[in-house]
Amino acid sequence: MKRLRPLATGLIVAIACLIFAPSAWAFCGFYVAQADTSLYNEASQVMIARNGDRTVLTMANDYQGEVQDFALVVPVPTVIQPEQVNVAESTIIDRLDAFSAPRLVEYFDEDPCYLPCAECIDADPSATIDRLTEESGGAFQSLAEALGITIEAAFSAGEYDILILSAEESNGLETWLRQNNYQIPTGASEVLGAYIRQDMKFFVAKVNLDEFDQSGYQRLRPLQIAYESPRFMLPIRLGMTNAQGPQDLVVYLLTSQGQVEVTNYRTVEVPSNADIPLFIQDEFGPFYSELFQRSYEQRGRNIAFLEYAWDLRGCDPCAADPPSLDEMRQAGIFWLEDDMEPWEFNVFITRLHVRYTRDKFPEDLTFQETNNRRLFQGRYVMHHAFADANEQACLAKKTEYRGYALSDREIEYLRQSHQNYIAHEVPERFEREAKNLARLTGRDLSTIRRRISAEVPQPQPSVWQLRYPPQLP
């Protein structure tokens, strides 16, 4: 009996520098680590490509258990036909996750004894129905009709058997689904009824075991649906009915204009662009988990966090290479032409992270595309102090920059620059990093200070006074 690799449970029960944007250069740094969806035990991922009224929805199957027990029920606004369903490769969602995940970057301090130019020193289908009917002993379609269920379409896609259903009332739909071994949550009738009243259809999928065994895959691949509808939304309520605590949902929204916002809940940027201590490099995952939970609680537990908003033509710093044209097509981006050059790609990615519970998110998520193309990322910065900030490094400037002995004025400039770096810039930054970490995570400030002092190499003190003693009157 084939069993899937454990992943997570959640929504699926229901459903280098940017060369094209000079304004982004200020972000340049070295990518070190990322906080991807592997941090969360209860996480779902959905990818939505949207242009005009056309939507391509890709759902990652975060399912654990026996393959034959898998069932997916997703409300959709229209009847879905076979040509509108595709089985995608899971790698495309993995790529977008890696590309857009909150990231840790590092900078290295410039030489504090750099000597500028002298003058600058002072400047600053039917076969499927037949097979399913045969497998059910002939009761498959007749039972549906008796319960007010209409099978609008039936077809296969890869390892999945797909049905598109409409229903007259929720109890009949729930009964039919259960009798056909669709494991839907207890108490789903109320939520199903809400969708029926909105005249929505139901995209229902089960695994075709023979096809799955022949596929050779060890995990179920994402299902991708394309449809036309003015509704720009994502149904999440059905997935809450049997949720055991908060669920994490990461949505990758791919559009042609700009950022996407949630219209029925607040959309808030995740805290970002903070200097943090060097030791966070070894614990970036736990750090971001603490930061997200603290922000989630402080904001009332009912908001959507913006974790990334960027043009897909580039990144800064890059946690992964930008998706290729072929990968963008796999993601459902249908408006790109084959003869387009990379700089002509009009694709904007918005990564939204929602942690939801039944009481805090009583409505499905509705979205709107905006013209806002402001670039944003969850980004956390480490700074390495200059390793050779000492007397010898500073004195070396007399040959490196001049080839002759430094003037008294140049020596004084170097001395002041070096001492200011040692006495003020580095200690003040350490204190700022400690306070940022305490503010973002709730960790004890005094403990953070001790760790910085014990674990982070400190610049060596100056011996300028020995070589250049103060002038006596």
Q: Answer whether the bond into residue 317 is a cis peptide, omega within 30°.
A: yes
d(CA 265, CA 304): 7
Question: Which one-letter amino acid corresponds to residue 163?
Answer: L
What's the CA dihedral at 447, 453, 455, 460 to 10 degrees?
Answer: 170
Inter-residue long-range contacts of 415-420, CB under 8 Å, 24+ positions, other chains counted: 415/462, 415/464, 415/468, 417/112, 417/113, 417/114, 418/112, 418/113, 418/389, 418/391, 418/394, 418/462, 418/464, 419/462, 419/464, 420/112
Distance between terminal CA atoms of the chain? 92
* Class of residue 343 by CB neighbours under 10 A (exposed 0-12, middle 13-18, buried 19+): exposed
Q: Are strands 376-377 and 223-228 parallel, antiparallel or unpaired?
A: unpaired
- pTM of the predicted structure, to 2 decimals: 0.81
The three-class DSSP label of residue 24 is: helix
> Residues near 148 by Cβ (< 8 Å), separated by ≥ 6?
167, 168, 169, 172, 173
Could you tell me how many helices (H) and strands (E) the chain has, helices first? 14, 20
d(CA 379, CA 376): 9
Closest alpha carbon to 234 in 61, 48, 13, 88: 48
d(CA 344, CA 287): 37
Task: Tell me what pLDDT residue 69 has.
Answer: 74
Structure tokens at 204: 């229902």
Task: Tell me what pLDDT residue 268 has.
Answer: 96
Closest alpha carbon to 385 in 277, 274, 462: 277
Task: Tell me what pLDDT residue 130 has.
Answer: 73
d(CA 133, CA 367): 39
Yes or no: say if 379 and 276 are a contact pair by the CB < 8 Å rule: no
Question: Which one-letter amino acid corresponds to residue 199?
Answer: D
CA distances from 14 to 70, 201, 426 (A): 12, 13, 51
Task: Tell me what pLDDT residue 27 has.
Answer: 42
Query: What is the DSSP-derived secondary structure letter of residue 181?
Result: T
> Residues near 118 by Cβ (< 8 Å), separated by ≥ 6?
410
d(CA 49, CA 347): 9
> Residues near 246 by Cβ (< 8 Å), separated by ≥ 6?
42, 355, 356, 357
- b/e per residue 438-457 (b: at least 16 CB within 10 A): bebbebeeeebbebbeeebe
Task: Tell me what pLDDT residue 342 has.
Answer: 67
d(CA 69, CA 63): 10
Q: What are phi and psi of 265, to 5 degrees?
A: -140, 165
Alpha helices in 310-390 (DSSP H): 325-330
pLDDT in tens, the chain (473 residues): 444 433 333 444 344 332 223 333 334 456 677 887 877 666 789 999 999 999 999 988 666 667 777 778 889 999 998 989 998 888 889 899 999 999 999 888 877 666 555 544 444 456 677 777 776 666 667 778 888 899 999 888 888 999 999 999 888 888 888 887 776 777 777 888 889 999 999 999 888 888 888 888 877 888 999 999 999 999 887 766 666 678 899 999 999 989 999 999 999 999 999 999 999 999 999 999 999 999 999 999 999 999 999 988 878 888 888 888 888 888 999 998 877 776 778 899 999 999 988 888 888 999 999 999 999 999 999 988 876 545 555 555 544 554 556 677 767 777 777 777 777 888 889 999 999 999 999 999 999 999 988 876 555 544 433 333 333 33
* Class of residue 76 by CB neighbours under 10 A (exposed 0-12, middle 13-18, buried 19+): buried
Task: Tell me what pLDDT residue 30 has.
Answer: 65
Angle between helical axes of 284-298 and 426-441 (0-180°, round to 10) = 60
CA distances from 278 to 34, 282, 351, 384 (A): 15, 8, 27, 8
